[in-house]
């Protein structure tokens, strides 16, 4: 076992044993799936949106996840109140910039959150992340378009440096970087692209790991790798059945994760130096 495998496995056990509270301000499409996915992993989800309570909830959470999938002005205002409370209480804030680049409001709202809240980790598809740093890539609603020939690892480095956060870009392979050191995570299955909320739940899962490990490169690598392993295992069992069966099997596999689950199903390697 590599040393990082021990590191991430220990973190999975910690998540399962301590059930960190993850405060999600997420979109209406994925709320139920996100809560069930966090329960399956062993974490405790809560969704809270009212301006009257978000500061209090964020203050007692292990992590705050801001997801702009079905945003409106009032919600973005509430996210900023929650984010600033999290910042004041040392709670890590994660941002899923769903659909950034698809509309100006989404791009501007994500950038507003990034300027008014200290965000620790951004997780998105390559197109969303590109638009946050003023680069153009095809985006179709909330889905990344094809971007042949472009290098997601290099984009992640530019974004991490430009935004001053850890950046995770997901797709067939995932990359996570602080702008200097990075890791590539393989695993997962294309069936994840047929289940709405697969990316959104992932950001919340990264929140559960970030609640327990201050080094978000380690926390993020652990979350990405175990998530990919659960998906690979679920796909192995249900590929001939389709996305409905896969979605249920995936929740079951998240619940069955153990420190040895990566073996043969997901891998982490160092990214080439930037
Ligand atoms: P998009 O809307 O573009 O699908 P997203 O926000 O849903 O973006 P994804 O990039 O799809 O997020 O990532 C969600 C999960 O799906 C990650 O664990 C990622 O590794 C996995 N994934 C996405 N595409 C593939 C693929 N072709 N093969 C394996 N895993 C994939
Ligand atoms: N529309 C607005 S938010 C949303 C859709 C379909 C869910 C996006 O989820 P994910 O995880 O990015 O696929
Ligand atoms: Mg997706
Ligand atoms: Mg997404």
| pLDDT at site 50 | 98
70 lines ligand 1 (CB under 6 A): no
d(C-alpha 15, C-alpha 11), whole Å: 6
31-84 residue pLDDT tens: 999 999 999 999 999 999 999 999 999 999 999 999 999 999 999 999 999 999
ipTM: 0.98
Q: At 54, list the tokens.
A: 């978000």
Contact 230, 255 (CB under 8 A): no
Look at strands 139-140 and 143-144 and give their pairing.
antiparallel
User: Would the CB of 144 count as within 6 Å of ligand 1?
Assistant: yes
- The protein residue with its alpha carbon nearest to ligand 1, atom 2, reads 143
**Which residue intervals of 50-197 are DSSP H helices?**
54-60, 73-88, 104-116, 126-132, 152-163
Q: Say if residue 253's pLDDT is above 80.
A: yes
Q: What is the pLDDT of residue 106?
A: 98
What is the model's pLDDT at position 239?
84
Kindly indicate the confidence band of residue 2, based on its pLDDT and cuts at 50, 70 and 90: low
Q: Is the pLDDT of residue 274 over 90?
A: no
Residues 160-215 have pLDDT tens digits of 999 999 999 999 999 999 999 999 999 999 999 999 999 999 999 999 999 999 99
Report how far residue 211's alpha carbon sits from residue 204's, in angstroms, rounded to the nearest whole number. Answer: 11
List pLDDT tens digits, range 69-82. Answer: 999 999 999 999 99
Res. 266: pLDDT tops 90: yes
Contacts (Cβ under 8 Å, ≥6 apart) of 205: 37, 38, 41, 43, 223, 226, 227, 254
**Atom 9 of ligand 2, nearest CA residue:** 197
Closest of 116, 50, 49, 62 to residue 90, by C-alpha: 62
| 69-75 contact pairs (CB < 8 A, 24+) | 69/26, 69/27, 69/28, 69/29, 69/30, 69/96, 69/98, 69/99, 69/142, 69/200, 70/27, 70/28, 70/29, 71/27, 71/105, 71/106, 71/109, 75/25, 75/49
**pTM score of the predicted model:** 0.98
Of all ligands present, the nearest one to the C-alpha of 197 is 2
Q: How far is the CA of 214 from the centre of ligand 1 (A)?
A: 25
Q: Which ligand is nearest to the CA of 191?
A: 1
203 in Cβ contact with 92 (< 8 Å):
no
Mutate to test the pocket of ligand 2, among 30, 71, 191 (most ligand atoms within 8 A of CB): 30
165 near 147, Cβ under 8 Å?
Answer: no
Closest CA to 33 of 207, 15, 24, 189: 24
């Amino acid at each position: 076992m590599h040393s990082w495998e021990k590191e991430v496995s220990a973190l999975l056990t910690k998540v399962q044993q301590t059930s960190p509270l993850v405060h999600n301000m997420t979109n209406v499409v994925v709320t139920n799936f996100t809560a069930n996915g966090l329960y399956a992993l062993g974490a405790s989800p809560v969704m809270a949106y009212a301006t009257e309570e978000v500061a209090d909830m964020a203050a007692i959470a292990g992590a705050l996840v801001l997801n702009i999938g079905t945003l409106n002005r009032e919600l973005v205002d509430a996210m900023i109140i929650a984010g600033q409370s999290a910042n004041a209480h040392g709670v890590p804030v994660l941002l899923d910039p769903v659909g950034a680049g698809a509309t100006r409001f989404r791009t501007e709202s994500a950038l507003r959150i990034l300027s008014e809240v200290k965000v620790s980790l951004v997780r998105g598809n390559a197109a969303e992340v590109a638009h946050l740093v003023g680069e153009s890539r095809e985006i179709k609603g909330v889905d990344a378009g094809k971007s042949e020939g472009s290098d997601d690892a290099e984009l992640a480095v530019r974004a991490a440096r430009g935004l001053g956060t850890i950046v995770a870009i997901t797709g067939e392979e995932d990359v996570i970087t602080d702008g200097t050191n990075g890791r590539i995570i393989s695993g997962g299955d294309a069936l994840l692209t047929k289940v709405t909320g697969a990316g959104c739940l992932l950001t919340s899962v990264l929140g559960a790991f970030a609640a327990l490990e201050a080094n978000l490169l380690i926390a993020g690598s652990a979350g990405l790798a175990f998530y990919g392993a659960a998906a690979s295992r679920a796909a192995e069992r249900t590929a001939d059945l389709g996305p409905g069966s896969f979605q249920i099997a995936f929740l079951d596999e998240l619940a069955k994760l153990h420190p040895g689950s990566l073996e043969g199903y997901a891998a982490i390697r160092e990214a080439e130096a930037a």
